[in-house]
């Protein structure tokens, strides 16, 4: 009984969500500063481009199951600065990434040591806008050790840091993450604290950090809660992301939230800050973001290839769109 009710509620929720009219935000540009495109489809890329997402950041994370060797990390980081960036470009979306050892896999210390050795080979590559996502999962001593080492690396490299806060014991984990960052001598203005909620936002903003919010369907922050947060705290140092990955998540979370905010009477200036401008300001501290790259609609040529691979499959015709008004 309870479960049927639950399903009904969920279906009602999804109908409500799909009725959100994205034409309300047509012409607006969005920057999704946390989305794991490696686990998404080309349909998602197309839908994001259609909804106005012009640029995104893909943080390095785990893959749903533990890696067994350092070569898997090498290949994954290489794909974030290579194939995935190319794939994104095929939909006219500028792709950036952050590179780091995620908290879960920091607990395999033997492997973590090897990953620390390869990180410097990746963090200075084109399109890498920070160290991330790093921080705590279970808040173990090993997680703390590699969190501190990577904060040190970020400080030396002069890169922003994208911090994943734990889902369990979030409030303490968030406070502790900020304490450690300050202990390591980092400037809070270079640090984006992610996955905030109503319990953590005030402290994060009061201490001078950036506060990022992940909009997840059915869990954590829904975008109605997000609207209330922007009403209460304003738009300074706040940003919204989808954190879409291989789980139930929504790669259109940023434009949908913008539409909901607009409908809720939040000013266009504030919407622009939390769905676009603040992410650029925070991550441009890397020196890697040139807004000119996505200010205007990027020409798309899907006949292009990356290492002799294209996104086209047998017999498909490439979508070549050089900003032409003629659709053929």
Q: Give DSSP secondary structure letters for 80-100.
A: HHTHHHHHHHTTT-EEEEEE-
Preceding amide of 153 cis, omega within 30: no
Measured from the CB atom, the residue of 28 and 80 that comes closer to Zn ion is 80
At closest approach, how far in Å is the CB of 97 from Zn ion? 11
Q: Is 145:178 a contact under the CB 8 Å cutoff? A: no
Interacting span for Zn ion (CB under 5 A) from 40-48, 57-65, 248-256, 270-278: 57-65
Give the shortest CB-276-to-Zn ion separation in angstroms. 19
Min separation Cβ 134 and Zn ion, Å: 11
* CB 243 to Zn ion: min, Å: 5
Nearest distance from residue 255's CB to Zn ion, in Å?
19
Nearer to Zn ion, 204 or 244 (CB): 244
Based on CB atoms, which residue is closest to Zn ion, 139 or 310?
Answer: 139
CA distance 264 to 225: 12
Choice between 165 and 275, CB closer to Zn ion: 165
Q: Does 56 bind Zn ion (CB under 5 A)?
A: no
Choose the stretch contacting Zn ion; rule: CB under 5 A; options: 14-22, 60-68, 112-120, 177-185: 60-68
The Cα–Cα gap between 262 and 277 comes to 16
Q: How far apart are CA 183 and CA 33, in angstroms?
A: 26
Q: Which is nearer to Zn ion, 61 or 76 (CB)?
A: 61
Q: Which range, of 41-49, 135-143, 241-249, 256-264, touches Zn ion by CB under 5 A?
A: 241-249
243 binds Zn ion, rule: CB under 5 A: yes
Three-state DSSP class for 52? coil
Shortest distance (Å) from residue 59 CB to Zn ion? 5
The three-state DSSP-derived secondary structure of 197-252 is CCCCHHHHHHCCCEEEEEECCCCCECHHHHHHHHHHHCCCCEEEECCCCCCCCCCC
Give the Cα separation of 78 and 19 in Å (integer).
39
Measured from the CB atom, the residue of 60 and 238 that comes closer to Zn ion is 60
Nearer to Zn ion, 162 or 257 (CB): 162
CB of 169 to Zn ion, least distance (A): 18
Q: Which strand ranges, in their side-by-side order, compose the sheet holding 161-164?
A: 30-32, 53-59, 94-99, 128-135, 161-164, 191-194, 210-214, 238-241
Which listed range, 15-23, 59-67, 110-118, 178-186, lies at the site for Zn ion (CB under 5 A)?
59-67
Please name which of 179, 173, 175 lies closest in space to residue 143, comparing C-alpha atoms.
173
The footprint of Zn ion on this chain (CB under 5 A) covers a number of residues equal to 2
Nearest of 207, 206, 205 to residue 180 by alpha carbon: 207
- Pick 61 or 276: Cβ nearer Zn ion: 61
In angstroms, what is the minimal distance from the CB of 245 to Zn ion? 6
Binding to Zn ion by residue 115, rule CB under 5 A?
no
Report the alpha-carbon distance of residue 58 to residue 125 in Å, rounded: 14
Task: Report the interface residues with Zn ion, using CB under 5 A.
Answer: 61, 243
């Amino acid at each position: 009984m309870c479960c049927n009710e639950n399903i009904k509620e969920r279906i009602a929720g999804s109908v409500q969500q799909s009725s959100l009219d994205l034409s309300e935000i047509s012409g607006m540009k969005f920057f999704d500063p946390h989305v794991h495109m490696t686990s998404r489809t080309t349909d998602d890329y197309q839908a994001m481009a259609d909804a106005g997402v012009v640029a995104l950041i893909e943080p390095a994370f785990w893959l749903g199951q533990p890696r067994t060797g350092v070569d898997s990390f090498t290949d994954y980081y290489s794909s974030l600065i290579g194939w995935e960036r190319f794939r994104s470009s095929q939909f006219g979306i500028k792709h950036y990434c952050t590179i780091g050892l995620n908290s879960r896999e920091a607990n395999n210390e033997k492997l973590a040591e090897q990953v620390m050795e390869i990180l410097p080979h990746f963090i200075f590559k084109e399109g890498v806008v920070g160290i991330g996502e790093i921080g705590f999962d279970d808040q173990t001593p090993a997680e703390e050790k590699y969190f501190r080492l990577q904060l040190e690396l970020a400080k030396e490299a002069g890169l922003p840091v994208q911090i994943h806060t734990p889902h369990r014991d979030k409030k303490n984990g968030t406070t502790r993450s900020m304490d450690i960052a300050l202990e390591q001598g980092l400037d809070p203005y270079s640090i984006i604290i992610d996955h905030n909620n109503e319990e953590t936002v005030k402290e994060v903003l009061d201490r001078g950090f950036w506060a990022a919010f992940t909009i997840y369907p059915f869990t954590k922050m829904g975008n109605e809660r997000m609207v209330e947060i922007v009403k209460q705290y304003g738009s300074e140092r706040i940003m919204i992301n989808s954190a879409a990955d291989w789980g139930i998540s929504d790669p259109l979370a940023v434009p949908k939230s913008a539409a909901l905010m607009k409908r809720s009477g939040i000013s266009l200036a504030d919407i622009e800050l939390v769905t676009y401008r603040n992410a650029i300001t925070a991550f441009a501290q890397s020196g890697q973001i040139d807004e000119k790259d996505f200010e205007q609609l990027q020409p798309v040529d899907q006949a292009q290839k990356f290492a002799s691979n294209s996104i086209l499959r047998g017999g498909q015709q490439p979508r070549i769109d050089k900003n032409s008004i003629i659709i053929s």
